[in-house]
Structure 1
Amino acid sequence: MLPAKLRTAIVDDHPIVIEGLKTLLQNEQNIHLIGGFYSGADLLTYLGANEVDLILLDITLPDINGMELCQMIKKLSISTIILILSNHTERSIIMQTIQNGASGYLLKNSAIDELRHCIAEALGGKICYSKEVIEIIGRPTKNDLQGAPRLTRREKEILALIAEGKTSQMIGQELFLSPLTIDTHRKNLIQKFGVKNVAELIMAANQQQIL
C-alpha cells in the first residue's frame, strides 16, 4: 500500500528542470520529494536500497534512455509509478514507454494541473496522458489513411490473442503452432499495420475496429 505522501524522485539531465519541478511540487500535500537524479545509473543505485513511490522521468538521459530505464525500474520495484515528462513527441516513443511500464506521458510544457491529474490517475491504476499527448496518439497515421490492412483468419486470431497480452509461447500452445510461427505472424502483423511495436499494433487495430 502506498503511503499518504508519495516518495517522489525526479530524473532529468538538466538541473534547472529538476529545480523547477521541485519548486512546483514542494507544496503538494501528497508529495514528499526525496531528490533529483541526473542519470539513470544514479537512480538505479538509489532504488536498489530505498523505496520510491513515484518517479518523474525524462526520456533523454546521458547514460540510459528513459524507455529502457522504465523496464529496469520495474524489475527493481514493480509498485513504483513512473510518469514520463519529456519534450519527445514521437508516437512510437510514447507507446514504447507505456509498453515498458510507464503509467503516463506528459510533455514538459504541461500545466501543473495536468501533472496532478496524471498522478491521481496513475495511483488509481490507470494510464494517463497530457492533452497534447492525447492529440499526438490520436492523429491518423499514414496507415490509417490507407485503410485497414487485409488479414487472414489466422492473423485475426493471433492478433486477438496478442491483444490479450499472451506471449508467442502461450499462443503457440493454444493454437498448436510453434512459437517461431507465432513470431513470424507477429512480425507480419506489425509490417501490415505499418507500426513499430506491439503497443502500436494493438492501438492501430482498435482504432480500425479490427479488435
Structure 2
Amino acid sequence: MHSIVLVDDHAIVREGFKRLIEMEPDLEVVAECRNADDAVEAISQRRPDLVALDLSLPDGSGLPLIEHLRSVATGTRIVVLSMHDGEPYVSEALRRGASGYVTKGAAPEELVAGLRAVMRGEQFLSSDLRQRRAERPNDTLDPIDRLTAREHEVFLLLAAGRAPKQVAAELGIGQKTVYIHRASLMGKLGAGSELDLYRIASERGLLPNRG
C-alpha cells in the first residue's frame, strides 16, 4: 500500500482528490492538510511515499515548501496539483524537487497516472503541459528540466556534497546505479565535476541555506 498526504486549502478539493485516489486498491490517503505548517507536521510524522501539493496555501507559496520537504523527508516524492499552469511555476517546482506537476484542469485519470509514474521514479507532467513544452523549441528548456526525477534527486545530493555511497544509501539504490545517473545528469547539464554541480545548484537557489 502506497501512502499519500494531500495538501490543499480547499476541503472540497481534498475530498475529490481523496475519493479519486482511494478508488485505486493500492493507494491510501493517510493525512489531509490545509496549510504548510500542518503539512510539515504530518509528513514528518507519517513519512508518506507521496505528497500531492497545491502551490497556493494560506500561509504562503508551496514552492519553498517543496524544497523544505525534500530536505526533511528525502524518501518522499512530491507531485504538484495546481491551477497555475504557467511555465515559470512548473519549472520552479521541478527545480525545487517536485517529481511531477498536474494542472487542476487536467483529466482526473491524469492525477493517478502522475502518482504512479512518480512512484516508479519518473518525472511526470500532465498532458496539457507536455503539449505546451513539445510546441516550444527544445533549446529554450533549462537543462535541469531534462533530468528525470531520479536524476534530479541524485543531482541535488551530489551538489550538496554527498559521496556516491551516501547517495545510494539515502535513495535506497545501488552505488553502480548512482554512477549511471551521475554520468547521465552531468552530460545533460554540461558538468565536468561535482564542483560544477554545486555551482549549477547554487546559482538556482537549490541548496539549503547553511548560514
TM-score where L is the length of structure 1: 0.66
1:164 positional shift: 4.8
User: Which amino acid in structure 1 is aligned with residue 94 of structure 2?
Assistant: I
**RMSD over equivalenced CA pairs, Å:** 3.1
1:128 positional shift: 0.6
1:162 positional shift: 8.3
1:119 paired to 2:115: yes
User: Which amino acid in structure 2 is aligned with residue 163 of structure 1?
Assistant: L
1:59 paired to 2:84: no
SS of 1:93's partner is helix
* Identical positions, percent: 24
Residues 191-206 of structure 1: matches in 2 within 5 Å? Answer: none
Residue 27 of structure 1 corresponds to which residue in structure 2? 23
Q: Is contact 2:99–2:123 with CA below 8 Å preserved after alignment? A: yes
Q: Which of 21, 32, 38 does residue 34 from structure 2 map onto?
A: 38
Distance 1:90 1:198, change over 3 A: farther
Residue 44 of structure 2 corresponds to which residue in structure 1? 48
Structure 2 unaligned segments of length 5 or more: list them: 141-185, 207-211
Distance 1:69 1:20, change over 3 A: same
1:15 positional shift: 1.0
Residue 92 of structure 1 corresponds to which residue in structure 2? 88
Instruction: Please give the per-residue CA displacement for 1:13-54, whole angstroms capped at 9, x wherever unaligned.
Output: 111100111121222112111121000110101222222111
1:161 positional shift: 7.4
SS of 2:102's partner is strand
Q: Is contact 1:161–1:171 with CA below 8 Å preserved after alignment? A: no
Residue 138 of structure 1 corresponds to which residue in structure 2? 134
User: Which amino acid in structure 1 is aligned with residue 121 of structure 2?
Assistant: G
SS of 2:56's partner is coil
Name which one, 1 or 2, has greater alpha-carbon Rg.
Answer: 1
Aligned length: 160
Q: Which of 189, 193, 201 does residue 163 from structure 1 map onto?
A: 189
Distance 1:71 1:33, change over 3 A: same
Residue 156 of structure 1 corresponds to which residue in structure 2? none
User: Which amino acid in structure 2 is aligned with residue 171 of structure 1?
Assistant: D
Instruction: Please give the per-residue CA displacement for 1:64-118, whole angstroms capped at 9, x wherever unaligned.
Output: 3111111111111111111111010110110111111111101112223212221
SS of 2:20's partner is helix
Residue 183 of structure 2 corresponds to which residue in structure 1? none
1:198 positional shift: 9.2
User: Which amino acid in structure 2 is aligned with residue 72 of structure 1?
Assistant: H
Alpha-carbon distance in 1 for matches of 2:69, 2:16 = 24
Residue 4 of structure 2 corresponds to which residue in structure 1? 8
TM-score where L is the length of structure 2: 0.66
Alpha-carbon distance in 2 for matches of 1:123, 1:198 = 26
Alpha-carbon distance in 2 for matches of 1:34, 1:11 = 11
SS of 2:84's partner is coil
Alpha-carbon distance in 1 for matches of 2:54, 2:91 = 15
Alpha-carbon distance in 2 for matches of 1:49, 1:25 = 21
Distance 1:26 1:97, change over 3 A: same
